[in-house]
Amino acid sequence: MPALYETIVRPVVTEKSSAAYQLRKEYTFEVHPAANKAQIREALHQLFGVHPTKVRTMQVRRDLVVRGKTRGLTNRWKKAIVTLKDGESLPVFEG
């Protein structure tokens, strides 16, 4: 069971996550691989004071990376897509 400050690793800010935020008010985070939906919901409530209504999680697979003659793999990680109550927002994504 990860600690509260380890549950939410970082926000994921990409073109796709920004579009999801603008269209559907969904926030995307990288989370601890062992964290479950209830722990993610509680961590967001404790850290940011918001009330998540929906939490979806997925495992992001490893990907092959080639840089010149060197081949490698990216690390796998866990992603959470969170929808908040109406009227609530996170300043991280307000940019």
Q: What is the CATH architecture assignment of 4-85?
A: 2-Layer Sandwich (3.30)
Give dist(CA 86, CA 95) in Å, integer: 19
> pTM of the entire structure?
0.88
pLDDT attached to residue 18: 87
Strands, DSSP E only, in the chain? 8-11, 26-31, 52-60, 64-67, 70-73, 77-84
For 43-85, the pLDDT digits (tens) are 999 999 999 999 999 999 999 999 999 999 999 999 999 999 9
Q: Which tokens belong to 25?
A: 């008010």
Is the pLDDT at 95 greater than 80, yes or no? no
Those residues with Cβ within 8 angstroms of residue 80's Cβ, 6 or more apart along the chain or in another chain: 28, 29, 30, 31, 35, 37, 40, 55, 56, 57
Percent of the residues in the chain that have a pLDDT greater than 90, as a whole number: 75
